[in-house]
Chains A and B, each alone.
Chain A
Amino acid sequence: MQGLYAVFKKELQDHLSSYRFVILFALIAMVSFITSYMAAVHMRGNLEGLASTKFPFLMLFSTPGAMFSMVQFVAFFGPLIGLILGFDAINRERTQGTLIKVLSQPIYRDAVINGKFLAGVMTIAVMLVAIVLVISGFGLAFVGVVPGIEEMWRLFIFLIISIFYISFWLGLSILFSILFKSIATSSLASVALWIFLSFFISLGAEVVANTVAPIDRKNEVQPEVVLENARIKEMVSLSSPMVLYSDATATIIDPMRKTTRSIILVGPMEELLSARFQNPLSLGQSIVIVFPHIIALIAITLICFAISYLVFMLQEIRT
């Protein structure tokens, strides 16, 4: 444990005092400020005259003001935090010649990788908690909304999911820094994978869906085909951590959302029924809806780290 703690402490110090952390933090804090400010302005306009709204506090995070909401922002650019914190974790030490020196001290080999990963997770957690607190304070002051206990729980779960989501990208970039000896290669590889999984997967999903279940626009559109098409599209795009994360957090942060699906087929009577019961879901029910998403997100994070761990433990280290 002594080795793990020493590595953890040193890495955390490095992270918190590095320029890249400061720049990243400044950037993210600024953008979240702006998005929540926009959301607040938007809300103030919309809420005027309403007697009581449900969960106004959470709207600070989920309302897209000018461009995107805070939640969407984390989904898009959160991975960048993970990647930047981890892309040179191991191979920089290798090129510096410090890895072999650290490993020849009386520590277990896994202390190095565990310490680095935990320090990264800690940094991510500090960053996210700080931002959420700042936005909350901002909301209190600017809009005058006070969070209820359920809203706080929802925010807390949102934070946990976000930490896992960004940690997935941290784990991935650490894996690349173990696999690739050159820092340039590992950083490019992780950014490439991020761009592919986050931005191009939806294109791919469309192609796959239209190939498997093409919607014939000339003839009468059959609802079964449309549904099948949507289902395939969803399935493929769920292989993107970003989609997993957005679906999960959107439902957690917005109690009015009752499904992650984009197309729902309802009969006229059903519609009438659901229109009459426009009540928000309880927290438990929201969690149940996105439970698979949350579990999958945690699983890919752990699997990604486990692979890095194994590769690192079995690798021949000479420098």
Chain B
Amino acid sequence: METETIIETTDLTKRYGRQTAVNGLTLKVKEGEIFGFLGPNGAGKTTTLLMLLGLSRPSKGAATVCGLDPLRMSKEVKRHVGYLPENVGFYGDMDAVQSLEYVADLNGFKKGEAREKIDDLLDLVGLKEEARKKTAAFSRGMKQRLGVAEVLIKDPKVLFLDEPTLGLDPEGAIQIIDLIQSLNKEKNITVLLSSHNLHQVQKMSHRVGIMIGGNLIAEGSIDSLAEEKFGVGEKEYSLEEIYMKYFQEV
């Protein structure tokens, strides 16, 4: 695995009025890593992702993504980063193919190139059958898979996934997780993932960060976090136990 740093933040802070959404976040994510962002609702995970995309302006601090400053080079950063927002939306009167075509258009694809790519992607996410169905009729799981296909059109180096498995049935969640893992292995895509589902995060992530109230409380591999909290021992601790331990201490 490569060890180059692909995302770096130093003292990244975002304030809304008096409220601090993200407080002095300093973080490094290496290329080819799956990094799990944990934390309760409103902990500042989404805000962090938006700042890394250059969609939100940090109050203080700086970030680099793929060696670029998202604040000044937002467009270039977005060329390399695919962002799947929580509850991704679609134009209801478009079908899956049209929806993908629009995203391809926005990415500056030529008509012919896009066609082929869209077919491949629909195959990859398993929506071949529903290619001509209007997205308004899509189930939650199908929407999520179409969302993944949309972010993959640009051949991203980095994926930001905001709650990718939220509201999915277990089978759908497993499909998404498998897809993310295979993308990470085969294409060496770095994944920054935020989730509440600790089991899934534990299963996928190489490293995790725990964020509570805008502060990054802990960061590291699951084993190292367990060691820090419970000491070295025979017992394997689940991420849930570790998380709760951190959570209680705050």
Contacts and interface: CB of A to CB of B under 8 A. Distances in A.
Interface residues of A, number: 23
Given A104-B55, A106-B76, A318-B46, A97 B154 contact: no
B138 to A, nearest CB: 13
Interface in B3-60: 46, 50, 53, 55-56
Contact of A107 (B50, B85, B106): B106
Given A97-B89, A98-B90, A106 B102 contact: no
Contacts of A318: 46, 50, 56
Residue with the greatest number of chain A CB neighbours at <10 A, chosen from B50, B82, B85, B92:
B85
Residue with the greatest number of chain B CB neighbours at <10 A, chosen from A100, A101, A319:
A101
A162 to B, nearest CB: 30
B105 A102 contact: no
A222 interface: no
Contact of B75 (A93, A98, A108, A319): A108
Contact of B150 (A6, A101, A106): A101
Given A96-B90, A97-B88, A10 B102 contact: yes
Contact of B107 (A9, A105, A316, A319): A105
Contacts of A107: 75, 78, 106
A107 B74 CA distance: 9
A10 B103 CA distance: 11
Interface in A91-134: 93, 96-98, 100-108
A278 interface: no
A8 B81 CA distance: 24
A318 B82 CA distance: 16
Given A97-B89, A317-B55, A104 B83 contact: yes
A9 B55 CA distance: 24
Contacts of A78: none
B231 interface: no
6 contacts: A3-B108, A98-B89, A104-B83, A105-B78, A106-B75, A106-B154
Interface of A: 2-3, 6-7, 9-10, 93, 96-98, 100-108, 316-319
Interface of B: 46, 50, 53, 55-56, 74-76, 78-79, 81-83, 85, 87-92, 102-103, 105-108, 147, 150, 154
